Amino acid sequence: MKRIFFITIAMLFMVCVVTFSAHAQLATADLSLSTIPINPQPLQNVQIRLNSNGFDLTQASIVWVYNGATVASGIGKTMITVVAPANGRVGTISATANGSDFSATTATLILRPASVDVLWEGADSYTPPFYKGRALPANNGLIRVVAIPTISAPRGLTYTWQENDSALPDASGYEKSSLVFRNQTLNTSEDITLSVSSSLFSGAGEINITPVRPNLLAYFNTNGYIDYANGSSSLLNTSGNGAIIHFEPFYFSLTTTSISNDLTFSYTDNNNNNIETGDSQNEVRLSRPDGGGQSQFTAFATTSSYSLQNATRLFSISFN
């Protein structure tokens, strides 16, 4: 009787050992969470994906928890969509997976989205006095881009810049919140992207910039007073017997602060004859035709410093 008892005890012990060994052999899965987009904006829909390099998650039981509440669960539920927290808020999302070949394992991700405004202008682009608005860049012109993180962002941020999907390591780095670059002739547009990060902050921004063609506007010069509030790109009207027309260029890249040093102006009439300039090369003096009526002429502005930067404009002036 004692022998049977000891045999039974031994068999139970062996079963426990085998069962314990089977459970002890289950490994911990290598889980990670990734987001699409990589740097979500506040209140943006974000896809969260559960990844593993060494284990099959399609047959695993997965439970998703967002800010303490279960938001999804199921077999092979490797991806969910959530709304990113508001600007300055933090969201914690976790996924716990339990498979037949690995023990229950949890991966956790902190969502800390933040908005980053991106502003730009033509860094060397000329605009006339009293111009309202942003100086636009022309082909081959310098462009300045500035990143402005949300007011709640901490100091000491790292900026990573890209131009047309090419990394800009020299322009990137600690507190490098601005970028200045020159548009290349073959680039009809510039796509600038950046990511901003620190241990407590993550944000991103992007902008598309299309260079413009330089332009010319004409203004009346009356006894030395230039009426900058009433410029024209085509038609001018006057009741006088003559007029001095003053021309202002827009969006040319200047190497100095003087348009007379960087630009060359010329003018032709309907017969392609040159028209003499006035006291300044960006002014012409026109007389009323016999019997009044309308005169037409073409104004040219060119620069030798930058290719593809020139302007040609046909103007008409009516002598009423």
Q: Assess if residue 269 is contained within a domain.
A: yes
Alpha-helix runs per DSSP H in the chain? 2-24, 259-262
- Asked whether residue 148 falls in the same domain as residue 188, the answer is yes
pLDDT of residue 185: 81
Q: Is the peptide bond before 149 cis (omega within 30 degrees of 0)?
A: no
Domain count, the chain: 3
Res. 27 pLDDT band, cuts 50 70 90:
confident
Q: Which residues contact 318 (CB under 8 A, 6 or more apart)?
A: 235, 236, 237, 238, 293, 294
pLDDT of residue 227: 87
- Asked whether residue 234 falls in the same domain as residue 315, the answer is yes
More confident residue, 313 or 277: 313
Q: Assess if residue 21 is contained within a domain.
A: no
Instruction: Count Cβ atoms below 10 Å from residue 226 Cβ, excluding itself.
Output: 18
Kindly tell me if the per-residue pLDDT of 8 is higher than 60.
no
More confident residue, 186 or 66: 66
- Asked whether residue 241 falls in the same domain as residue 186, the answer is no
Write out the residue range of the structural domain in which residue 313 sits.
215-319
Q: Give the domain CATH number at 284.
A: 2.60.40.10
pLDDT of residue 48: 96
Lowest mean pLDDT segment, chosen from 22-36, 97-111, 187-201, 294-308:
22-36
Percent over 70 (pLDDT), the chain: 92
Domain stop point among 111, 137, 156: 111
Domain stop point among 181, 209, 237: 209
Distance (Å, whole) CA 164 – CA 93: 33
- Asked whether residue 196 falls in the same domain as residue 225, the answer is no
- Asked whether residue 227 falls in the same domain as residue 270, the answer is yes
pLDDT of residue 169: 95
Q: Assess if residue 139 is contained within a domain.
A: yes
Q: Assess if residue 266 is contained within a domain.
A: yes
pLDDT of residue 25: 59
Q: Assess if residue 140 is contained within a domain.
A: yes
Q: Assess if residue 3 is contained within a domain.
A: no
Q: Assess if residue 38 is contained within a domain.
A: yes
Residue with the two structure tokens 């300044």: 280
**DSSP state letter for 3:** H
Distance (Å, whole) CA 139 – CA 251: 10
Kindly tell me if the per-residue pLDDT of 146 is higher than 60.
yes
- Among 180, 177, 188, 181, residue whose Cα is nearest residue 213: 188
Look up the pTM and report it: 0.70
List the Cα angle 102/105/111 in 5-degree steps. Answer: 145
Collapsing DSSP states into helix, strand and coil, what is residue 309?
coil
More confident residue, 16 or 274: 274
pLDDT of residue 143: 96
Residue with the two structure tokens 């279960």: 70
Res. 22 pLDDT band, cuts 50 70 90:
very low
pLDDT tens per residue across span 79-99: 999 999 987 788 999 999 999
pLDDT of residue 267: 94
- Asked whether residue 176 falls in the same domain as residue 229, the answer is no
Domain stop point among 190, 209, 228: 209
- Asked whether residue 71 falls in the same domain as residue 136, the answer is no
Kindly tell me if the per-residue pLDDT of 109 is higher than 80.
yes
